[in-house]
Structure 1
Amino acid sequence: MSSPERDSPIVLIVGAGLSGLLLAQLLERANIEYHVYERASKVKPLGAAMTLGPSILPVFEQLGLLEDLKKVSYEVKAFVLRDENTKIIGSMALNGQKEISGYEGQLFARPALYDLMLSRIPTKKITLGKKILRIEEKDNKVTIHCADNCTHTGDILVGADGAYSTVRKSIYDEMASKRLLPKSDSEDLEAGYTTLVGVTSTLDLEKYPMLAEGSCSSEFMGGNGRSWVLMAVPGNRIAWACSLQFQNVEEAKRHKFSNAEWGPEANAAMIKEFHHLPIPYSGGKMGDLIDLTPPDMISKVYLEHKMFETWYYKRSVLVGDACHKMLPAAGQGAVNAMQDAVILANCLYDLKNNTQESITEAFKSYRAQRWHHAREQYDNSKFLAKVVGGLSWSERLVRTIFLHLPKWVVDKNNEKMCSYRPQATFLPMAPFHGTGAVLPQLPSVRYTREQEEKKKAGGVVV
């Protein structure tokens, strides 16, 4: 890929996950040249259910994606926590967020969102089967060297390639060789859980009548280090997840080593662990739902977490799990990854030129705007993981207290969560809905200037 001198950079995005695809859409709208390189030779969206709420939905509204998302979603009303016998321990309503923000939380099967995001990327701007071997910076350019002996050169490299990011490893190796890498960044991710996830085929409404309600509550069950989660999703289906919590570091390491190459045998062993456990639907068992799930829609995930200090180096920058891997209990991993994409796109839009000085300034601004918010949600994800599936007596006590918080405390927490809603500052802003306050956002210098120039010239201001 050639890179002639220009004001706008050429951006190489490694990883076609949700953050990479959202960044691509934003750069498309910002008229910034980009290309997405994905390691997998075939995109196969897996995963169970996920939710998006007020902290990211304004961007979907800006991009014209919100109504399409609603077509494949249910509104999230509450989550219910049960013990291992499905007896209700407590519940928490989530509808307070709509009054505050004007947005109802949307719950859907993760593959549905992935398909929607992928459909908005021009096929000529994404290449599959590209395994990155190393990164090289030379002559004020960055080049990725791939396993197929091809090279691709641009001005900026974005590592959106997940918790085991090749981009991160490459820049960290170079920084470590120069003694520039913080000690904490050289340490392994911290293990927490291993999870099996899937989405059933269409179910019989006579046996599962709750699927016809058009909205849903998330059902969390757990005990003895195990937890299983059920969420109704459109299409009369149930998205499910079964998790095993490790009791100590040694157990986590043994499990990770024994499952270095997961396959059908490893899935079968974990399925057996959960097959007999009860679910609150028609007196059924977890195995009923697993058996009604296509085998190719079942995947196993090793859940680790870590907040990295270093988010960029030279012309390379990290987003999402590559720089802050979160546990899924708070449902904030994908949301924060997409928020990274939004803020990074804003910084790239305002990039003065393609010099290293300007790029470093943009990366520094990106991290400064995101660090505090990402750190807060990282800590929340660890806390909620203990609330849902903690093993110790103190964690069970926290779970009981959390589920019986006064309404005013819940409302205050909702107001705080809904206040952070970053948007693309180079697009017309989505209207501020609801009654709650919204945190101020750095305006785009370039966009503001362009709008003022249009106004003076008698043009249309958007």
Structure 2
Amino acid sequence: MASHSASTNTQTDMVPPSKVLIVGAGIGGLFLALLLDKAGIDYEIYERSPESQTLGSVLSLNVNILPAFEQIGLYEELLALSARTDALRFMYDDLRTVASLSLENLKEEVGYDCLLLSRSMLYQLLKSKVPTGKIHFGKKVVSSEQNNEEVTIMCEDGTRYCGSILVGADGINSGVRKQMYSQLKKENKLPSTDSEEQDKGYVCLMGTTSPLDAEEYPFVESKNAVYNHIVGGGSNFSWSEFNVGEKRVCWIVVLQQTSLSPAEAKRLRNSEWSTNVSEETLDVIKNLRVPGGRSIGDLVVSTPDGEVCRVFLEDQVYETWYHGRTVLIGDAAHKLLSSAGQGAVTALQDALILANCLYDLSSQSPESIQNAFQSYKTQRIPHVKEEGAANRTNALFLHGQTLWERTVRYLAIHLVPQSVKHSFILKGASYRPQIAFLPQTPKRGSGHVLPQQPSKRYEAQQQKTKYSDAAIAATIAPEAEHAPTVTAVV
């Protein structure tokens, strides 16, 4: 594979990777695939599961990613699938509302509503836009190797695939990350912090119901989302329900890890998304009350068989995001505590910024690829860390069960002014990255928007087109000036 020197290329002659191997067909991997397709970069997706996965619960998409969905023409489809969030209601287990946060007037300032939908809805939407044959299911990657020319992945079934870049989009327990870290450890290049396990975490049980009877659940027909969050006074549980469109309800039950034995916590930390949830576990949560005289048990019964799942959530931002021709996105690079269903946004943002950097590759040389990966991490890491800190605070507020956490929650509810909470939301809304190689979505709302690193290649192409159009116009103008006048005869 020939390498091209960056010094001999013009900006419009930049050389994208010949093929990107994406491991993981989750939300981040699928979104990256769509962006690479828009960029004219070839790719293939390899997913370990034998078929499409619809596990999970609620997702929250907001101003931090919605402009990008406008760019690729999916915004209106998202609106049709989702419900708009008006407010968060915070309750104790006797269903007394002790606090609420209104979002009704937020759109005027940020330009977008906060949309709630189920993970499966977004997954199916993204998957439907990926060309047939680009996703290969039943491909568990067991090892990889790379050199100056290419990277090769080996699958459990004995197949091998080669490309110029490998993207690990394979989640919290990323096999790509483990293989990369193993190699770095052998070379004594892995930071000690990347080999440490974090103890802080939460066990989540979750699901999305089938379409519900509107007579029994009248709120499911509303396009305004009902977001109820309840904290148990005499238990270690907290739980939430959300209507998300298509007459479905997402539900989540969270158990703080500090209430688990060390052995159980370690076992769950090493597990992946699982539908192996025992009847005994479901019996424990079935009587947790939600508004309307209903319970979590009612929602569990309405969830399709095999789609109640369990996952262990941790809080860790890794230092090492790339090595050689391999790079990580989403949960593979950073495990952030889930906060009101916004975990997917960070993976989508990772995919977006990585696609921007790959579009601007000056060559396929190892040096050029390293520079692209470094630019990706430099652009993303401050925002990931900021999001991680915000999620820790939100998780403490929403799920914390220790005496200290209950005290902090009480003070936050009763002493922090709404204006302060509102200012935090506006600050977070200022980061709204866009796809640098597509026409930009005009700014919406009155709030501040952080500047974004532009695409040198795209700007050069636009400038070239501008000069070309001007030259054509200059050629046509004199000809039009001297053209003979034709007089109509009546």
Aligned equivalents of 1:307 and 1:201: distance in 2?
35
User: Is the counterpart of residue 309 in structure 1 residue 319 in structure 2?
Assistant: yes
User: Is the counterpart of residue 288 in structure 1 residue 267 in structure 2?
Assistant: no
Match of 1:166 in 2: 175
- 1:75-128 Cα shifts (integer Å, max 9, x gaps): 011111111222112111123431122111110111001000000100221111
Judge conservation of contact 1:96–1:414 (CA < 8 Å) in 2. Answer: no
Residue type at the aligned position of 2:205 = L
Judge conservation of contact 2:274–2:311 (CA < 8 Å) in 1. Answer: no
Q: Would the alpha carbon gap of residues 200 and 374 (structure 1) be closer, same or farther in structure 2, given more than 3 Å must change?
A: same
Judge conservation of contact 1:267–1:300 (CA < 8 Å) in 2. Answer: no
Q: Judge which range, 360-369 or 217-226, deviates more.
A: 217-226
Shift of 1:260: 5.1
Provide structure 1 residue ranges, at least 5 long, that are not aligned to the other structure.
none
Spell out structure 1 runs of 4+ moving beyond 4 A: 3-6, 258-265
Find the partner of 1:52 among 57, 61, 78. Answer: 61
Q: Judge which range, 231-240 or 22-31, deviates more.
A: 231-240
Judge conservation of contact 1:308–1:323 (CA < 8 Å) in 2. Answer: yes
Q: Give SS of 1:297's match.
A: coil
Aligned equivalents of 1:332 and 1:129: distance in 2?
28
Judge conservation of contact 1:47–1:109 (CA < 8 Å) in 2. Answer: yes
Alignment of 1:111-126 (within 5 A): 111-126=120-135
Residue type at the aligned position of 1:8 = P
Shift of 1:50: 1.2
- 1:301-326 Cα shifts (integer Å, max 9, x gaps): 12222110100111100000001111
Match of 2:251 in 1: 240
Judge conservation of contact 1:304–1:325 (CA < 8 Å) in 2. Answer: yes
Judge conservation of contact 1:12–1:156 (CA < 8 Å) in 2. Answer: yes
User: Is the counterpart of residue 208 in structure 1 residue 237 in structure 2?
Assistant: no
Alignment of 1:47-446 (within 5 A): 47-223=56-232, 224-247=235-258, 251-257=261-267, 266-281=277-292, 283-404=293-414, 405-446=416-457
Aligned equivalents of 1:208 and 1:450: distance in 2?
54
Shift of 1:413: 1.3
Aligned equivalents of 2:393 and 2:215: distance in 1?
38
Q: Would the alpha carbon gap of residues 439 and 156 (structure 1) be closer, same or farther in structure 2, given more than 3 Å must change?
A: same
Q: Judge which range, 30-39 or 6-15, deviates more.
A: 6-15
- 1:363-397 Cα shifts (integer Å, max 9, x gaps): 11100000000001111111111101111232122
Shift of 1:209: 1.9
Q: Which has the larger radius of gyration?
A: 2
Q: Would the alpha carbon gap of residues 261 and 97 (structure 1) be closer, same or farther in structure 2, given more than 3 Å must change?
A: closer
Q: Would the alpha carbon gap of residues 94 and 253 (structure 1) be closer, same or farther in structure 2, given more than 3 Å must change?
A: farther
Aligned equivalents of 2:84 and 2:139: distance in 1?
37
Shift of 1:29: 0.3
Shift of 1:255: 4.0
Residue type at the aligned position of 1:302 = F
Shift of 1:139: 4.4
Aligned equivalents of 2:422 and 2:394: distance in 1?
17
Q: How many residues align?
A: 456
Shift of 1:252: 4.8
Q: Would the alpha carbon gap of residues 30 and 265 (structure 1) be closer, same or farther in structure 2, given more than 3 Å must change?
A: closer
TM-score of the superposition, structure 2-length normalised?
Answer: 0.89
Aligned equivalents of 2:308 and 2:43: distance in 1?
32
Aligned equivalents of 1:365 and 1:103: distance in 2?
28
- 1:50-93 Cα shifts (integer Å, max 9, x gaps): 11000000000001011001111000111111112221121111
Judge conservation of contact 1:26–1:345 (CA < 8 Å) in 2. Answer: yes
Judge conservation of contact 2:286–2:297 (CA < 8 Å) in 1. Answer: yes
**Aligned-CA RMSD value:** 2.0
Q: Would the alpha carbon gap of residues 198 and 262 (structure 1) be closer, same or farther in structure 2, given more than 3 Å must change?
A: closer
Aligned equivalents of 1:263 and 1:37: distance in 2?
20
